[in-house]
Structures are given as C-alpha cells and as structure tokens.
C-alpha cells in the first residue's frame, strides 16, 4: 500500500507522502520496518494489532513529511 501511495490512514489525508518517499527507498524501508516491528500474530498467524501497526507507520510518515507530529500526538 505504501509503495502505491495509498495507505489510507485518515491521519495522512492531504499528505502526498508518495512524492516524498518514491526516490528514497531507505526511508520507505524504514516505514515498513516500523510497521513490522510492532505487528503481533496469534497462533494461527492472524495479525492481532494490525491497526496499531498501521497507525505507528502513519505517524512516522506524517512526521517525515511534515517535520512534526500531528497535534496532541506523543513522539514515537
């Protein structure tokens, strides 16, 4: 989803993060790492906290693009 520019998290509405990341594969890799680092799975391999992991990645994307976190958010 990130590589297509369509994460879809409401926090990223109006932010064209794809323009920021498309020429920076290492930053895109970091975004994926943030998502994967917090993702947990149950015994059947189903994700337990996919929305939380998506929100963490969206927070990072927001900060990367805007230089600051959204109002009221705590630093990662």
Per-residue confidence at 18, pLDDT binned at 50, 70, 90? confident
Packed helices 50-66 and 25-38: angle between N→C axes, nearest 10 degrees: 150
Q: Rounded CA gap, 11 and 33, in Å?
A: 19
Residue 56 above 70 pLDDT? yes
Q: Give the pLDDT score at 7.
A: 57
Q: Rounded CA gap, 28 and 72, in Å?
A: 25
pTM of the model: 0.80
Other residues' Cβ atoms within 10 Å of the Cβ of residue 41: 11
Q: Which residues contact residue 63 at a Cβ distance below 8 angstroms, ignoring those fewer than 6 apart?
A: 69, 76
Q: Rounded CA gap, 48 and 18, in Å?
A: 27
Copy the structure tokens of residue 76: 């990662």
Percent of the chain with pLDDT over 90: 30
């Amino acid at each position: 989803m990130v590589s297509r520019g369509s994460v879809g998290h409401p926090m990223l509405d109006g932010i064209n993060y794809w323009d920021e990341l498309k020429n920076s594969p290492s930053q895109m890799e970091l975004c994926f790492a943030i998502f994967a680092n917090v993702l947990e799975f149950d015994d059947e391999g189903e994700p337990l906290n996919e929305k939380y992991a998506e929100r963490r990645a969206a927070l990072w994307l927001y900060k990367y693009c805007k230089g600051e976190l959204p109002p009221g958010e705590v630093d990662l």
